[in-house]
Amino acid sequence: MESRKVMTFDSRRQGLTMLRFAGRLWMLAVPVFALLLFAPAPLHAQEAAARIDLTQHPVGYLALLIFFVAYGFVAVEEIIQLRKSKPVMLAAGLIWALLGVVYAAHGQSAVLEAAAKHVILDYGELMLFLVVAITYVNTMQERRVFAVLRAKLVSMKLSYRQLFWLVGGIAFFGCPMIDNLTTALVMGAVVVAVGVGNYQFIVMGCIIIVVAANAGGVYSPFGDVTSLMVWQKGKLEFLEFFHLFLPALVNFLVPATLMHFGVPKGMPEPVSETRQLKHGAAVVIGLFAATIATAVAFKSIFSLPPALGMMLGLGYLQMYSYILQRIGRRRDDQDMAFDSLREIRRLEWDTLLFFFGVIFAVGGLGVAGYLALVSNFLYGDLGPTVANIAIGVLGAAFDNIPLMFAVLTMNPDMSSGQWMLVTLSTGVGGSLVSIGTAAGVALMGLLRNHYTFINHLRWSWAIGLGYVASILTHLWINAALM
């Protein structure tokens, strides 16, 4: 019964919670308007073509307060049942409204407009890319691709320790094609199905899935949103991500080896479960691969945004769905056809709008001048290597997406090796705790009685050793790129 329940979960719906803190955003309404009316002019206002420094201005302080209080609502989403996109969207709008009043008062609205359009461009490219990628994942789920994979693994006569390595390996090598969240949820379903009745195996399996999915997401632009952001910004070329393969592999192997001895011995009870792919599933997989190749070609050959290539790939899928619909009608087989627009409607818009709110809120803080202060401290005083490693550790407390967007907005002058380092650290740093990444939070929601914050924390020492080992591996093998 437990496995049947897991089979029905919606992977996007289970991956809603990402971040943590606490607060109440509606209480800011009065101070917002009070400061708009009575705040003094900033001390460092520039001429017409320059940004206004608000880092020591009450409006700047209020923007910071709004940002962190919004994150508080995100943290307690499960408790108060308030979708995470709502507070961050409200926060983003309030921050830019505050900026708008100040800039309008100084006759520099055109400067702020240009900054806003730049953020819109960043988010637009990311959103279009994710819309297409998630639509393909939804379609493969509808064509039973993941269900068949799960059934095959469940039917294999393997020991618990063999299954531990198998699910971790599949998560690591499969994540570059599918995002780490979907990978974690699919493999989590496998662990629950084969480990029914064995509490310890389910716990250990979930921990290694989170570690492996996050590690596998860094050596491909498609494995994690942060990697995608780095690629779309042109900081690393497509093939340069593969320099991170060995460091990512070390990040997976070190904790997996140490955790191996904590996995129970013995074999699970055999389970027979048959599943068949729906018609056209193999073609959909091929079209997804062709779509990724198209996006890479648009970026590498034509110097066009990869989102355009992904939209062309969506055209592939739409035309194929039309063909299957026509064939299904002739054969009177309703199970053959699928509606690509229906799969688009199944997108997790709460997550996409959450990205909008986070990116615009961080962008607003950048316009206020706070990111420049942070950049000067991290990359000026500490140096890029220490800064990039520290940002990865912060990923255990803050979600890696706003951290990476902040780094990209600060745009420090770094070598390709340093951009690889921050991609690696932000990608795998969130594995240190269960709430550090979307993959971990999603599994916590799916398996509340097994995969918990405390259970994950017991193995943080091993994951931490893997984090250190992966950083040292990168600094060693990619020394010439630093």
Query: Are 101 and 110 within 8 A, CB to CB?
Result: no
* pLDDT above 90 coverage of the chain, percent: 26
Name which residue leads in pLDDT, 9 or 318. Answer: 318
Dist. CA 310–CA 192, nearest whole Å: 34
Residue 399 has a pLDDT of 64
Closest CA to 477 of 274, 171, 249, 285: 249
Place of tokens 């570059």: 176
Residue 120, exposed/middle/buried by CB under 10 A (0-12, 13-18, 19+)? middle
**How many CB atoms are located within 10 Å of the residue 319 CB?**
12
The predicted model gives 213-238 an average pLDDT of 86
Question: 430 pLDDT band (50/70/90 cuts)?
Answer: confident
- Token couple for 48: 């017409």
Residue 383 has a pLDDT of 86
At residue 86, does pLDDT exceed 50? yes
The predicted model gives 426-452 an average pLDDT of 75
What single letter denotes the amino acid at residue 322? Y
Angle separating helix axes 416-429 and 225-232, nearest 10 degrees = 160
Query: Are 278 and 140 within 8 A, CB to CB?
Result: no
Three-point CA angle 360, 362, 306, nearest 5°: 60
Name the most confidently modeled range: 26-35, 51-60, 117-126.
Answer: 51-60
* pLDDT above 70 coverage of the chain, percent: 84
Question: 279-316: per-residue pLDDT in tens?
Answer: 889 999 899 889 988 988 888 888 888 889 989 999 99
Dist. CA 420–CA 479, nearest whole Å: 11
Please report which residue ranges of 243-339 form alpha helices under DSSP H.
Answer: 245-260, 281-300, 306-331
Question: 373-389: per-residue pLDDT in tens?
Answer: 877 788 877 888 998 89
